[in-house]
Each structure stands twice: as C-alpha cells, then as structure tokens.
Chain A
C-alpha cells in the first residue's frame, strides 16, 4: 500500500481533514487537562487523616449560665460530661479537645529549636490523655499525656495568663515554663532532622520551652500554608464561657445514629443551662470536600460527553467522505483493488489525521495546562498522561472510522457506475 496516493487524496480535501485534526487536537487538550485536574482532586479526596473519621463526632456545649465563667465550675462539668458520655453504650471514647478534623483549618503557631534557628509553623491543639485513643492515631515514640500532665499544665497556663507577663527588650517573658508536647512524625522530621525527638525541646516566641514527650505516626488536617501534616498537641483542658466546651466522641462502629440522637440528652442530664451543637466528622468531611467532589464529577462528565461528541464527529466526517467517493471506490474496485485495500485506505487516512491532531493536541495540552496553572494550583501535565491520551485517541479514531470504512469497502464496482 502506498501512502502517496492517500496523501494526495487528502490534500484535495484539506479543510475536511484539517477540521478532523483540530477536533482531535482540542479533544486531547481538554481530556488531558481534565484528567490532570481529576487526578489532583482525587489525591486530595483520598488523602487519609490518620483518624477513625467514620466513627468520630464533635459535640460542643455552650453555656448560657454565668456560673460557667468560673473555671473550677467548668472543670467539674467537663469531668461529669466525659463520665456521662463514656457511660453510653455506643460511645467507645470521649475526649475534651478543641481539635475538629476536616474543617479546613484550626489554630497554628511557630516554634524553633533555639533563638538562632528558623521558625517552623505547626498546627497546635490542646488535648487531654484520651485524645490520641479517640482519634485513633498511633504513638510511635515516647508516651501519651497523663491525667497528671493535663491537670498540672492547665493550672500552670491559667496562672501564666491571669496577668500580663513581664518581658525583656526582645519581647521574651522573664520567667518561662516548660510544656510537654506530642508532635507528628512529619513535624519531628522538620524540627529534629537528626533523629529521635523525644526528650528534646523547642521554644515559642515567649521563650517558653516545649518538651517532646511523644511522637504520633501520622496526622493530617487540611490547613492553609501547607502545614496539614504538622501538629503539636499540648495537655490542657479546653473550654471557655464564650466558646463553650468541645468533646470529640468516638462511637462504637455502627452506633453513630444512636449516639447522635442520645448525646444531647446525655449532656443535658449533666447540666441543662447550655446549648448544643453536634457534628459528625463524616458530615464535616463531606462538606469540606464538597467542592473537590463536585469538580471530579463535572470534569468526568465533560470527558465522557466530549469523547462521545468527537467520536460522532469522526464517524460523521468519514461517512460523508466515503459517500462522496463512492464512484472512485467503485472504479478502484473495478480496476482490481480488494475490499481490504479500500478498508486500509480509509484507516490509514484516518490514522494520518489522528496523528496530526495528536501532535497538535500535545502542544495545545501544554499551553492549556500552563494557562490553568497560572490560576489554579495543580500538577504539571505529565508526558505519561499525554501518551495515554494519544493512545486512547488513536484507538478511538480507528474505532470510529471502522464502521464507515467497512461500508465503503462493501461498495461493489457495479454500484459505482450505476448512478451518476
């Protein structure tokens, strides 16, 4: 089979084949970029938190009773709340913490090894001795907080913040304290690259020392500034009159609904001068990831419909070009060309067009990718992705040509001469 005649035939129909090539090029550009965005979004969607997300629930009780302004009163109620929550048969663990996974933020601060070192940002949350077990994160080094840590540290920080601290010229407090801390392995690796952090300390801007007592294996809570995997927990009772008291509750698997229904009553039986807000972590997570979920769905729809439309376009144009050349086909058949020759002619013709389109499409994909990256955080277009896209389009192109080409091959010599 000679390519020469095919090329010459195509050159007589530049516009038609040009259109087809452009359509293939645009399709490749759009599909490759959509897939790239989908891969990015799916990475976000499937990123584990390291917690038992499905069984977690956050309960906030906010008082409207002035007695709660007294920290001693509040502490008593916190202990009673926790006892009541843990007494529920559907509750596996309960902890008093301000940490709410999957809301896309939280609180953060910066620490450094010493005055000369660079500050490194981390998320930071107060925790009690039950937090790690409730979240379901594994301690890989050192120890968990003890009840003793929580009580002692709460007292100390309260005393510290009761009045303004005396400071030196650089803004550091004159008298400082040492706070026990549990950090994530990712943060440990940044601050203490040389090895085991347990027992070592870092400091905050006040000059207070934070001593690492434990390291958790993995932690992820989405946060701006790319500090999702860095966390520091410190032992402290959480709660205030204004913000209320928060509990993270881990339910026995399958008991979410039952606990959800009962939890308000449970807390109300301890003290009913409060309002309650109950959020399940699966729900918080679903809402947080809503945008990404939607993006994946929309882009998938775009890809499916687009490939369908392009396929239709190829079928349409090839049918048209077969129908138009019925006479030539008949003549060729009469002169000895076999059906296979005709079929091959159309397939090769299509292959040339698709290849042209793919070459153009690779350029377009990169251009579109760069345009998108100027606005959207995302990954660069990878050669692998383009290669897969090209292979798929070749296959789709051949498939879409096959039917009209086979119809062309069935043209008999007599048919061609019958009708002018």
Chain B
C-alpha cells in the first residue's frame, strides 16, 4: 500500500511538473538554509572529546585585585588562566589521576643546516599527562614519561608536518632536534592531530591548529620561557614585557598558565574542590586572594560556553535558518493546497469507487513526504555546496578550511527537518482534500 501510494505520488509529481518543481524547490531552499546554519553552529559547539566530559576539569582561580573584579562585566568574572605559582602549588596535589599545566611559547627550531633555515615555531609546554588526557594520537613513539618531567629531560614531541619538514617524514624517534640553544631527543611524532577546537587551550583563538612542538613544562625555568598568549595580571606592571623573568615567576599576579586535571569520579572532584578552597584560605593568610572566594573547576563543555568558543553570531544564524524553514513550510501549505484541490475531481472519482477518507488522507500525506524527502535531499546538496564555499572563505581568513561539514548528526537533522516540514505542511491540505464530498466533484 505504501509503495502504491509512493507510486501515485510520483505520477502526480510528473503530471504537474511546474507546481511540483516549485514545491520541491521551496522545501529544498528551506532545508538548505536551516542545515547550513545548523552545521555552522554545530562546528563550534561540537564536543571535541565527548569521552572526557565527565573526567577532565579546567581550573580557574580568582586571584584578581581586591579593589575591583576582573574586567569583563560580570561581578564573578575571573581570569581565564592561573599564575605560575598557583599552578606549581596545585601540582603538589595527588587527588587528580592526571594533571598538566600548559602554555604556548614561540621558539626557534634549528633543522640540520642542509635541510633548511631555522624557523620560529609555536611550542606547547606541558606535563607528561597531557598526551593521554587529550587523547593525542601518535604516528611514531609516544609522549614523554613523568620521570622526564621530574628530571627536566630535554625531550620533544613534534607534529607530523614538522617531522616531514625536518626529518623527511621518517621515524625520527631518538633523533636530535635543536631548539634555541639546547638539543632535544625526539620521543614522539603526532599523527595528524586536528581537534575541531583547540580543546586544551581555548584562550585566544580556539580554532588554531595544535602546536607543532611539545616540550616538558618544567623547562620554563631553565629556558626562561614566556607565554605568547594572554597574560592578564594586576599589581605592578604585571603584564608588562619589561618586568624581569624571575620577578614574574616567583611573585606577581600575572595569569598565563592553563591547568587541567583528570578526576575520575564526582567524589574526587569534591575532594579537589575542598583542596582548592583550603589552598585559597592558606594563601589568603599570606595576603593573596583578597577577593571573595571564587574558583571554577569546569568541564570542557562548560569551558566552551564560558570562553564563547562559538561566535555569538552563529546563534543568530541558526535562529534565522530555522525560521526560514518555517516560512518555507507555511508557503508549502499554500502550494500543496493548490495542488491537491486542483485534483478534486480525480479524488471524487476515487472516493466514489470506494476509497475511504483515510485512504485519501494517507495517499496525500505520503505524497507530501515524497516531496519533502526529495526536496530535503536537494536541500542537503545545496547545503553541502554552501558549506564548501564557507570553508573556502574560512580558509582565506583563518587558515582552517575543514571546519564546516555535514556529519552524521547533521544528515539526521536534515532528514528529521524534511520529514517534519512535509508532515506539518501536509496534514492540513491532505485533510481538506479527504473531507471533500465526492458528489460535488462528479459530473452530473
């Protein structure tokens, strides 16, 4: 019966190609806009590490000026990162099963002179746990050990692209790479790692690619490394590049370290929170943390909201896209009504020959679904095309060209929206046509 109805629907489409074309185009355009804008929003809100939502936590502490809140409007706003000394203090805790401090520096990498000139590279300083915490994939080797963290071993993990450039793409584990004035032993090469947002560092541009070089965090002291990211501070010239290195590390309230911990259970998280509270209380006795106690232990999802990883405009686009689909659906009701009522005579004959109202109703509803799915498919095609041009635009302005895509979720969404649009637009016209009295449409 269903197949028969689909066949009738197909015949009906072929019979009035212009009107059918308009109807399908109407759905297609509505689906195209809604899906495109939903995919744009989705690109920024998609969770990069869903498995880690429950256990990974990012720590923020309000060490700001007692006289005024951290700028940004909200009374409970706090700096996006923590100070070096707080990071070192937190690190003494054994509650987290894994933890890493991290920040981004920019250092000179010296390939063999025969291979190329020295280049400046973004470098991520992190602890050994970093690689496991963020599910970093390796082509060769692995991250360094906790022991290397302790002993300040000069070990390095490099990206696949850098390995290609400096070592010709071969397995470079065990090779030496000179960075600034020191020689590092390569322990791992990443396998094309590109999370949808730079999950471990959402300060600054969260869409940046991961850094090509990774070094043990402890080297910050002997190498006198500075962040190239945000370093909001207060008191003295906290953020000033002219302050001496030692002064910035040991004292000062300049915040430039990102701190992540892995807490397997809610009980651990509770324990960790009370640990932070007692740390703040202890520091307060030393004259720090003059503001009301304010700290956050946030999951990746929460952090994405707090740091507004998704540009706010994408929300406006999503709303506009969905409303556009509603307009298309309303339009569709009119078009379907016209199409169905034009066939009143034929329906009259069917009814006179014994088709029930239900049969007629279902037949027309199926026709609506056929049209909707057809239009939805075309709309998806249009959405794929527009996402391609959006990607090209993004590649031009941000150097990320793979951001927007139709993943399974988006395909399902498009399908659901098409079916819903067909159903909502189809019910009234189908109901109208099945209520027609057959007699008035039969020639006497």
Contact = CB atoms under 8 A, between A and B. Distances in A.
A208 B315 CA distance: 45
A375 B315 contact: yes
B33 A305 contact: yes
Contacts, number: 155
B283 interface: no
A22 B328 CA distance: 11
A258 interface: no
Nearest to B67: A119
A16 interface: yes
B108 interface: yes
B174 interface: no
A64 B317 contact: no
A29 B327 CA distance: 11
Given A299-B320, A306-B327, A376-B313, A287 B397 contact: yes
Name the residue in B71, B327, B393, B396 with the highest tally of chain A Cβ atoms < 10 Å from its Cβ: B327
A309 B328 contact: yes
B191 to A, nearest CB: 27
A30 B316 contact: no
Interface in A288-309: 290-291, 293-295, 298-299, 302, 305-306, 309
A317 B429 CA distance: 13
Q: How large is the interface on A (under 10, 10 to 19, 20 to 34, 35 or more residues)?
A: 35 or more
Contacts of A290: 393-394, 396-398
A282 interface: no
B319 A316 contact: no
Interface in B58-89: 68, 71-72
Interface stretch (A142-150, A157-165, A342-350): A157-165
B71 A121 contact: yes
Contacts of A107: 239
A211 interface: no
Given A121-B71, A310-B327, A376-B313, A62 B393 contact: no
B428 interface: yes
Contacts of A34: 320
Contacts of A27: 327
Contacts of A23: 327, 330-331, 334
B374 interface: no
A410 interface: no
Interface string B23-53: 0001001000100010000000000000000
A62 B311 CA distance: 33
Contacts of B240: 109, 161
B320 to A, nearest CB: 6
Given A66-B181, A242-B106, A320-B338, A313 B331 contact: yes
Nearest to A287: B397
A6 to B, nearest CB: 20
A302 B320 contact: yes
B414 interface: no
B346 to A, nearest CB: 17
A291 B313 contact: yes
Interface in A4-23: 15-16, 19-20, 22-23
A26 B323 contact: yes
Contacts of A319: 338
A316 B338 contact: yes
B331 to A, nearest CB: 4
B311 A291 contact: yes
Contact of A16 (B71, B313, B331, B334): B334
A2 interface: no
Contacts of A29: 323
Nearest to B330: A23
Nearest to A172: B236
Contacts of A320: 334, 337-338, 341
Interface string A336-365: 000000000000000000000000000000
B439 to A, nearest CB: 14
Given A16-B337, A165-B236, A242-B105, 17 more contacts: A26-B323, A33-B320, A107-B239, A161-B240, A161-B243, A171-B235, A206-B237, A244-B120, A298-B317, A299-B317, A299-B320, A305-B33, A305-B324, A310-B331, A313-B331, A375-B315, A376-B315
Interface of A: 15-16, 19-20, 22-23, 26-27, 29-30, 33-34, 37, 62, 64, 66, 98, 107, 109, 119, 121, 157-158, 160-165, 171, 204-206, 224-225, 240, 242-244, 275, 277, 286-287, 290-291, 293-295, 298-299, 302, 305-306, 309-310, 312-313, 316-317, 319-320, 324, 368, 371-372, 375-378
